[in-house]
Amino acid sequence: MSTATKPPTAPKPAKKARPPKAVESQRSRAETNLARKLVAPAIVLMLLVTAFPMLRALYLSLFSYSLTAPDDREFVGLSNYVTALSDKLFWQDTGNTVLIMLVTVFFELVIGFAFALVMHRLIFARGVVRTSILIPYGVITVVSGFAWQFAFSNNNGFVNGWLPFIGDDFNWFAQYDSSMIAIMASEIWKTTPFMSLLLLAGLAQISEDMIEAAKVDGATWFQRLFKVILPNMRGAIMVAVLFRALDAYRIFDNIFVMTAGANGTESISFLTYRQVVEQFQLGIGSALSVLLFLSVLVVAFVIVKVFRVNLADARQES
Amino acid sequence: MALTGKNKERAQRAGMGLGVALVLGWCLLPVVWIVSLSFKSQAAVTNGSPGFLPADGGGAGFDNYRQVLQDGDFLLAIRNSAVVSLSATILSVAIATLAAYAIARLEFKGKKFVLTTALVIAMFPVVSLVGPLFDMWRTVGLYDTWYGLIIPYISFTLPLAIWTLSAFFREIPWEMEQAAQVDGATAWQAFRKVIVPLAAPGVFTAAILTFFFAWNDFVFGISLTSTENARPIPAALSFFVGADPFNRPASLLAAGAVVATVPIVVLVLFFQRKIVAGLTAGAVKG
């Protein structure tokens, strides 16, 4: 609020020295004022629903606080964090989340890029393909979770029947490994199209001349792909990976629907949800919320760093 | 080198056909599967029917759909989702339009702050807000109400709407507004007749994307509601257990899922071009 209404007082006297500039700065000050009024509702709402609750979570995380016994609320300092960080479950769930993020983003990138190449070169059926590619994006995540859960089910699914090397009565949801595969399959199915659309936009920005030139110089298809196309798409790839990785890191819906966290398939989001909504442990739940937020920041930081390093490498090569 | 020009073209065409088939198969297979499941009879599904098509599982015609549409809780959930998603969409897009206009057209200090805030919120792990919101909403009486969902939905769709809209607004030739005024139009006329028609497609796209988000949300839907008063359709589907809690009525659930998905898929089919433009404009140009 304060940024939206605060009048810019400091620069005024300095600029009064030259009259023509003062007129300009008056106009720009009016523009700034109008802009701030237009932007204020959006900023206020976003901060009210995210920044304020987050600060409150930070505060509550210092208390032993259960909604089932609100009167026993007690300041405990950082002990909720100690409890969370020394719990095996926390690290197991973080491990699951990281594993899901790495595997799904990798497959989405490879398959999504293949799809983008197909769509980029497409001469016929453009409309049909572009419409279909949006269908997984549009399907509710919960519904796609159900669709895949039933598909993998040994009772009424089709996956066992279609996969020749798997027995018809194999229960995918009876153990950890296969449960994770099923969860990741549904996540990859749902979000690969989104990835391919972002990559397609990146592909469209590469000049055809450059690819033609490489062709004339005798570069093979693979050389053109790795030396011309991919280096020029680094920006688009980074955006796509960043978006998808952060999205994958907060995975919740699929796991809730498909396994409900059974066989150790819980994600860190799921653990947080369980502490707060099912167990009413607001203190420890808030600590987990803060840790989740911090780990998302770490993931974002790492991705940005990794891509920068690659950029430098690419420059050294050429 | 063995390929002559004509053969090479033919091979390319075949490869392309294969590619298209793979893409279509990928996108449609699970959708066809859940539709197929929704037409199987419940008895056949519980007894085990690994087949893909309804014929293998004993066709049930529209029985499952009839049963779902007679379920009061399900209909209430659809109503909740419709009201909450539409309200959030309208408000979010209205607020985002103001902000995006300022970002695209005006020079002002703090522009970077707005865009950064939006980006951070777009990356925010939704679940980490569930705790504090759960607690706050219970205190102020917004828990398990429409408003309790509309407010977070607006806030979380704002970043997407702002980024998409400002990318669109940056492409609008704003000088045309002045040109119209020079030609004798009043400021309001110039805005309404020139800028509104140019901006409308962008606003519309942002609205569709926002609606997608709100309709798809599960985390808030499941944590900030407790009864059919406000529970949206994804949450309702996940609680749908049927008569026997140990045997989820798969085919009935599939019918419900199809009903819940139809509005979104219809939107996709109608506005395919706009959605693609919006998704990529917000992400790539931003």
Please tell me which of the candidates A137, A140, A243 has its beta carbon nearest to residue B234.
A140
Q: Please write the tens of the pLDDT for every residue from B114-153.
A: 888 888 888 888 888 888 888 888 889 888 889 989 999 9
Say if residue A4's pLDDT is above 50. Answer: no
Distance (Å, whole) CA B61 – CA B65: 9
Please tell me which of the candidates B16, B108, B257 has its beta carbon nearest to residue A31.
B108
DSSP B144: T
User: What's the pLDDT at A22?
Assistant: 53
What distance, in Å, lies between the first and last C-alpha atoms of chain A?
A: 49
CB A138 within 8 A of CB A123: no
Which residues of chain B from 149 to 168 reach within 8 Å of chain A, CB to CB? 151-152, 154-156, 158-159, 162
User: What's the pLDDT at A278?
Assistant: 84
Say if residue A306's pLDDT is above 70. Answer: yes
Q: Do A42 and B126 touch (CB under 8 A)?
A: no
Distance (Å, whole) CA A148 – CA A131: 21
Q: Do B48 and A160 touch (CB under 8 A)?
A: no
Q: Over pLDDT 90: what percentage of chain B?
A: 11
Half-sphere exposure of B28 (CA within 13 A, CB side): 12
Integer Rg of chain A from CA: 26
Q: Please write the tens of the pLDDT for every residue from A112-129.
A: 999 998 888 887 777 788
User: What's the pLDDT at A113?
Assistant: 92
Query: Model confidence at A73, in pLDDT bands (50, 70, 90)?
Result: confident
DSSP 3-state of B126:
coil
A123 vs A183 pLDDT, higher one: A183
A115-119, A200-204, B42-46: least confidently modelled range:
B42-46
Proportion of chain B in helix, strand, coil states, percent, rounded to 5: 80, 0, 20
Distance (Å, whole) CA A253 – CA B232: 14
Which residues of chain A lie closer than 8 angstroms to B136, CB-CB?
A: 53, 56
Q: Do B131 and A272 touch (CB under 8 A)?
A: yes
Half-sphere exposure of A229 (CA within 13 A, CB side): 23
Q: Please write the tens of the pLDDT for every residue from B203-247.
A: 888 898 889 889 989 989 888 888 888 889 888 888 876 655 556
Distance (Å, whole) CA B84 – CA B134: 18
User: What's the pLDDT at B281?
Assistant: 65
Say if residue A313's pLDDT is above 70. Answer: no
ipTM: 0.85
Element holding A74 (H helix, E strand)? strand A74-75
User: What's the pLDDT at A3?
Assistant: 42
Please tell me which of the candidates A202, A240, A272 has its beta carbon nearest to residue B127.
A272
CB B263 within 8 A of CB B79: no
pTM, rounded to two decimals: 0.85
CB A90 within 8 A of CB A82: no
CA of A244: which chain B residue's CA is closest?
B123
Please tell me which of the candidates B151, B218, B265 has its beta carbon nearest to residue A138.
B265
